A = this chain, B = another copy of it.
Amino acid sequence: MKPVVSERGRRMPSSPIRKLMPLAEAARRRGVRVYPLNIGQPDLETPPAMRRHLAEAPAVFAYSPSAGTPECLATLQEYYRRIGIALSTDDIIATTGGSEAVLFAMMAGAGEGDDVLLVEPFYTNYQAFATMAGLRLVALPTRAEDGFHLPPREAWERALTSRTRMVLLCNPNNPTGTVYTAEELQVAADFCRDRGLFLVADEVYRELVFDGRKHVSALSLAGFEENVVVVDSLSKRYSACGIRLGCLVTRNRDLYGACFRMAQGRLSPPGLAQLVALGASELGPDYVLGLVAEYQARRDILYEALRDIPGVLMRKPEGAFYFVARLPIEDAEDFAAWMLSDFSLDGATVLVSPAPGFYATPGLGRNEVRIAYVLRKEHLETAVRVLARGLAAYREARGMGPVATATATTSGL
């Protein structure tokens, strides 16, 4: 008798961009250069001050304490102190990337069959962790026209069920690039406190806020100590995605205890990554300023170029290094595949993420794509030129004709 995979195993979602990978590979084999605008893998160097610490690796690569080495926890504590957040090292658990922190928070904050409230579009892998934890994601829509900002209190209340246990926010937001204001964050936090919910804030893009904006961490809200759980990662901040180091931060002792016991179960977070982390304290304030300037310049290039394309609808992204744009097409999945298999300009094409994978509600995001700007400026300029010409050619190939002026005027909203 053949054993059968569990229901949750069968329901585990595939990565929404995975089906495009064979097409991208085929394009590369044909000699086409594929500019990846699909993933959040920065091209910037991991800071040498951090890489240098690998030379201190001891002769025995031993387990570290389950919550992280004292040195690693002190480095994280110092990082938060510098951004104005006072923490005890007992509020922090070093995790295997932000991913593990999300899984721990979901597992400890909600039980099988419970609901997690979040806004859509959302980071697609939340669905994977929710499936593992047996949770239902209940998504409140946000709209491109509103810059994907948070809904008012009434919308949160309407979505509340007897099984709601937490609100999950990503701020700055992946995939939309939206940075939540202090006011809208307060609305969500008040809702959580009044309703006895955890507020899980994924702040892995915390530094990446543009045009002089200031990021408001959920940890800085006074009076929400029992509600707030922050998910963090060194991946984006330090261009160190591959080391798999993040952390979970909470002042709620019960939640900390449950997550700590899960951390004990898996013994320790990656040790070499914890060595690399020590270098973060050696980076001066210039490091973050440079990082923000670089990504803001890239955003500007993309935004300026994209809003010139007839029929493209997007607000100026406020942070992170992604945004969601509405394209003058009907089916982003078909368009993304077509760009790889049927189009090239001067030997180049682009790979974009169709947005439906970032929505829980079927049908939403069909004419939207997520674009990541993790390429050097000159490559971005080429990539957006390719995208613009591709859009026009695709509409022609699909018999859609040129974009009507009425649609075009909404561009750059």
Smallest CB gap from A66: residue in B: B15
Neighbour of A61 across the interface among B165, B196, B227, B243, CB < 8 A: B243
Q: Render A236-264 as a binary contact track against B, CB cut-off 8 A, 1 for contact.
A: 00011111100000001011011101101
Neighbour of A3 across the interface among B46, B165, B271, CB < 8 A: B165
A129 to B103, CA, bound (A): 13
A132: chain B residues at CB < 8 Å are 107, 262, 265
Inter-subunit contact A266/B3 (CB<8 Å): no
Smallest CB gap from A261: residue in B: B12
In the complex, the count of this chain's copies comes to 2
Inter-subunit contact B63/A262 (CB<8 Å): no
Q: A46-B61, A270-B273 are in contact. Are A129 and B265 (CB under 8 A)?
A: yes
Smallest CB gap from A62: residue in B: B242
- Within A150-194, the residues touching B (CB, 8 Å) are 165-166, 192-194
Given contacts A14-B264, A61-B242, A241-B268, 13 further A-B contacts (CB under 8 A): A6-B111, A8-B111, A10-B254, A14-B261, A18-B264, A51-B59, A63-B241, A63-B242, A96-B270, A112-B134, A242-B270, A244-B271, A272-B276
Q: Can you name 10 A-B pairs with beta carbons within 8 Å?
A: A3-B165, A4-B254, A6-B111, A9-B258, A14-B264, A62-B241, A96-B244, A243-B270, A270-B272, A272-B272
9 tightest A-B CB contacts, nearest first: A128-B265, A242-B271, A9-B258, A1-B196, A9-B108, A12-B261, A6-B111, A99-B266, A272-B272
